[in-house]
Structure 1
Amino acid sequence: MNYRLITIEGNIGAGKTTLSTLLAKQLDARLVLEEFSDNPFLPKFYADPDRYGFPLELFFMAERFKQLNALLEPDMFHQVTVSDYLFIKCLLFAKVTLAEQEYQLYKRLFDIIHQQLIYPDILIYLQAPVAKLQSNIHKRNRSYEQQIPDEYLNSIQQSYLSYIQQRSGITLMVDASNANFLEDPRHLQVILEALEKDYTQGIHRLSLP
């Protein structure tokens, strides 16, 4: 395995946590999952985004930094780490969520701390249409997510895609329109086989059967 830190990313409901968990099991890897359920502002944000956007994003940034900063410590039991988020998602979501002045303050804080973190050897981005995202969100049935508007998901999607177009590093762009990593083992196998290959810097596209 040439990739010691593998990060899975995608929009809300894309399947990041499912794929990360399955990959970590297959690769005997350390697993880092975003602890979004601990954010006390999340249900409040979906009910009143203008009021709770800034504390929501600030809480997320602090928790993400704490988790990813721990990766600087060596793990004697695992050679590979799989994470289900990038730290840059702090800025990508904040750009959509916050008013301009709040975003500029938030970005100043982000710029101070992000340089202390390590970045993934490879990024796997799960790209799915909004209809698929909404279907997955409905299936997992978190009450506070059920009213997320399509416009918000579209904005997040565009924020991710703009970032990926200009990022350095290796990105595997996976068409996750029909992804079902839990029930179709072929889909996980495509990802596992892709991780056995060497890639040049840039975007490389994968399709699932």
Structure 2
Amino acid sequence: MIADVLWQRGHSRLSGIYVSHADLDHFNAVKYLAERFRISIFRTTPRMHRQLRQAANTMAVGVLWAELDRHQIDVQAVTVGDKWSIGLAGDISVLSPQRGERHESDNEASLVLKLQFGNQRVLLPGDIEEQGVQRLIAREHGGFEIMMLPHHGSQHSLPLQMANWSNPQVAVASTGHSKLPRQVRQIYDAAVARRGGTVYVTSQQGMVSCQIDLDGFTTIVAAVP
């Protein structure tokens, strides 16, 4: 499905793939994308970078490492302070993890990214939960136009604190569950309402994409097949 969307948009190569952590649901498409597209760089956290290099080939991360090596894709570990340009007016910044931090789990060690185009800011928080959310809020300034809900909208990701800090106009939950936990949905509905926005749940609305330029963004929703 990812490949089909990319082909429809005219892409034959990918400048980079960013993977938050070593949970299968976050990287299982990479093998298939590597077979179909030229991929320049694979970026992830130091924790997952170590897991890739140490994994046995029978493990999922080992299979991923073999594929990255086979296709000669540059694998990089990234941390807070790393930043890359997107085109002429955008950039990607790493908000977490911080170099040398210890984490309670793979989820808490997730790669957290900020995408910025002019004044439009997008938050991609991976699967961070209580520890990761607390560190992120303490370290970074909030305020985003668009955000993915951490850990697919989990109630363990401090939704009230996260919603108040991020102050999103659009919030997207990428999840296979039919609906979000009731409290989580209420919190984010209230947050986006302050800015006249919307909460989207991919299991209900389907693919959600946002077209962003310097003047703002347009949200496009593809119906669930």
TM-score, with structure 2 as normaliser: 0.29
The structure richer in helix per residue is 1
Q: Which has the higher contact order (CA 8 A, sep 6+)?
A: 1
The structure richer in strand per residue is 2
TM-score, with structure 1 as normaliser: 0.31
